[in-house]
């Protein structure tokens, strides 16, 4: 069974600073995918970034990057130059090699201070 | 128009009532999913369907049933609602490649309250 752990229920960051949201996972699969989703207060789920277990380089999408450390089973999300609009819930999720039944972590609420 | 549409957006019901949440999609995806979100627990999979004739239980299927009426429609039913089914419910779709990089596309969610 897969498990995703997000140990930070809530975090504050100053506007324009960088922030790291932690995610650790547990799986016996050799091939898997890791995702981050953002959920603003309006409630929708927005895909941010994806990392494959065999990808040699860390994924980046604009201000988002994924710090992937396979041996430590961690997939932390780094947001550079935080903006007020980054205030939201963030979910880490994992997909198995076959099928797309994403398993989600409990989420981290990020609050950006002006 | 949204690619994945959930109705209703909000619903308040009483214990013991039967309720149906509906999901329709225009993305042409084969795979559809129902998740529920509870504070601190993230999203948990209730049921999923890889095509019209394929229905599978997820992590927390007890107390729920589903129907895949067509490729584009996937409904979730609570036969006899109870208060601990109060949650935010999401429908999601995916293309169906089966690769680990296949992301989910979510509806806007249905907030259900069972009194």
Tokens describing residue A33: 């995918």
Average pLDDT over residues B21-28: 96
User: B53 CB near a chain A CB, below 8 Å?
Assistant: no
Closest in A4, A33, A107 to B100, CB measured: A33
Query: H helices then E strands: how many in chain A?
Result: 0, 12
Computed over every residue of chain B, the mean pLDDT equals 93
| A105: contact with B, CB 8 A cutoff | yes
- The tens digit of pLDDT for each residue in B26-81 reads 999 999 999 999 988 899 999 999 999 999 999 999 999 999 999 999 999 999 99
Does the pLDDT of residue B106 top 70, yes or no? yes
CB-nearest partner of B45 from A45, A47, A101: A101
- 3-class secondary structure for A39-91? ECCCCCCEEEEEEECCCCCCCEECCEEEEEECCCCEEEEEECCCCHHHCEEEE
Q: Inter-chain contact A95–B44, Cβ cutoff 8 Å?
A: no
B102 touches chain A (CB under 8 A): yes
CA-nearest of B50, B43, B44 to B62 is B44
Of B31, B44, B101, the CB nearest to A33: B101
pLDDT (average), residues B8-13: 96
pLDDT (tens, 9 = 90+) of chain A, 114 residues, equals 789 999 999 999 999 999 999 999 999 888 899 999 999 999 999 999 999 999 889 999 999 999 999 999 999 999 999 999 999 999 999 987 666 688 999 999 999 999
Rounded to whole angstroms, how far apart are CA atoms A75 and A50? Answer: 10
Closest CA to B78 of B15, B7, B4, B9: B15
């Amino acid at each position: 069974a897969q498990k995703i752990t997000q140990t930070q229920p809530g975090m504050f960051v100053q506007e324009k600073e960088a922030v790291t949201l932690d995610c650790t996972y547990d799986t016996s699969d050799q091939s898997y995918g890791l995702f981050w989703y953002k959920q603003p207060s309006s409630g929708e789920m927005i895909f941010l970034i994806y990392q494959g277990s065999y990808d040699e380089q860390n994924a980046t999408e604009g201000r988002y990057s994924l710090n992937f450390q396979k041996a430590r089973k961690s997939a932390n999300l780094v947001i550079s130059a935080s903006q007020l609009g980054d205030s939201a819930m963030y979910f880490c999720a994992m997909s198995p090699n076959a099928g797309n039944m994403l398993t989600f972590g409990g989420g981290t609420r990020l609050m950006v201070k002006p | 128009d949204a690619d994945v549409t959930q109705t209703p957006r909000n619903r308040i019901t009483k214990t013991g009532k039967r309720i149906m949440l509906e999901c329709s999609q225009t993305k042409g995806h084969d795979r559809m999913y129902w998740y529920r979100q509870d504070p601190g627990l993230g999203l948990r999979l209730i049921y999923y369907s890889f095509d019209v004739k394929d229905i599978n239980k997820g992590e927390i299927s007890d107390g729920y049933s589903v129907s895949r009426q067509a490729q584009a429609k996937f409904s979730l039913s609570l036969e006899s609602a109870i208060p601990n089914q109060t949650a935010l419910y999401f429908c999601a779709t995916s293309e169906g490649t089966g690769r680990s990089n296949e992301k989910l596309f979510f509806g806007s969610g249905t907030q259900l309250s069972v009194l």
